[in-house]
Amino acid sequence: MNCIGIVTEYNPFHTGHAYQLNTLAERYPDALRIVVMSGSFVQRGEPALFDKFTRARWALLNGAHAVIELPTVYATANAERFAAGAVRLLHQLGARALSFGSETNNAALLQKIAAKSSDKAVQEACRQAMKNGEFYGTALRQAIIAQYPEAAPIVNQPNALLGLEYTKAIQTYGLNMNLIPVKREGEHHNDELTTDWPSGSALRRQIRTNDNKDHLSKTLAPYLPANIIADCQEKILFNDYTEIERYHDFILYESRKLSATQLASLADFNEGLHQVWPSAGQKESWTSALDSLKSKRYSYARLNRMATYTVLGISRRLQDEAHETGPQYGRLLGFTDAARPWLQRKEFDVPLIQKWAPFVNTATGLTAEMATLDQKATDIQKLCIKNASNRKGGEDFYFTPWYIKK
């Protein structure tokens, strides 16, 4: 079956996401659109604004044929490991093409730049720049441009850079997948709703900072597909979304509780940062702690991911083993009629889980560790919901995948 894979977070789902799905539907009407989506936590190092089950349903109502959860160990990793985990899972589920939003739709150019980024000269220049204190992303961009100046307009754009990571993963693991970049409109990191194409950052900021719920609903309506506006409005009205300050308290709690030795075992804690982290955890807010930890070598994004590792207990060993071994399963969050033949044929290289309890209760080894982490992430994300009445845990066990008749 002709399957196009999409890697996403839908945090939250908006018109830009619907545009990508509709574009693929128009260009490839006979292809199945399979989405691998971050679950309860996202790559920026925080719980998703809305729960994964709701976000999956919104995607299915707007052009996705199936939504599969990306295991948390990959969803919270750096860009390279995030991309590798997601792309490998899509390939294991039968996708032979990968689509993503990008500032360029020139697939051949992305492939050329990705191949160039793996050259020894580029890798050595990248390592040297990091030794000099540059962030990984900045170091890689500088190294690529030095060897291939024509790449500058591409690698300096956020979505294209993530598209390069997807392309690198396909090349590194020898996956049989074509690239279908869809040119992205709007500003990816703009915190204001100033264009016709919103950024997730702007939508999250509006929802979390605007106390006038009626006004907020009208403000957001132009940026949401019509068929999810009422549902989104209801969630906002009843405060059924994560409160970021509440999550920040979890970070401070873990930072004060964990010893330097315990921190040293967590993913990405190196170069002595485990020694200064406990002192930062004594600050009055995570924002203040973050500012005290920020350095030329450690970006805010990296520190936020490390904070997530303290809250979820993601060890260096687990993340390394998961990256080395690859995804052990996919968790089906929902599907439409179009995906039925794909599900029935079961031509997957990993289990596709529909009933969580029997799977997790019999899982062993790395699979069990990854599944337990997914549960923990869901329970903590629910505990961060602003409305206390919606903080019930254990949702993974009683959720049944959505079935959308369309």
Q: Which residues are annotated as a binding site?
A: 7-20, 101, 159, 184
Decide: helix, strand or coil at residue 4: strand
Ramachandran angles phi, psi of 366, nearest 5°? -60, -40
Strands (E), 236-349: 330-336
Using alpha carbons only, give the angle 343, 40, 291 rounded to the nearest 5 degrees: 150
Burial letters 375-394, b for 16+ CB under 10 A, else e: bbbbbbbbbbbbeeeeeeee
Structure tokens at 78: 């750096």
CA distance 13 to 24: 17
| Binding residue positions for ATP | 7-20, 101, 159, 184
Ramachandran angles phi, psi of 59, nearest 5°? -70, -40
Structure tokens at 187: 């500003």
CB 231 within 8 A of CB 54: yes
CB 167 within 8 A of CB 179: yes
Q: What is the DSSP letter of 338?
A: G
CA distance 406 to 402: 12
What is the helix (H) or strand (E) element at residue 391, kind and residue range? none
CA distance 138 to 149: 15
CA distance 112 to 38: 28
Q: How many helices (H) and strands (E) does the chain have?
A: 22, 10
Helix, strand, coil shares of the chain, percent, nearest 5, are 55, 10, 30
First CA to last CA distance, the chain: 19
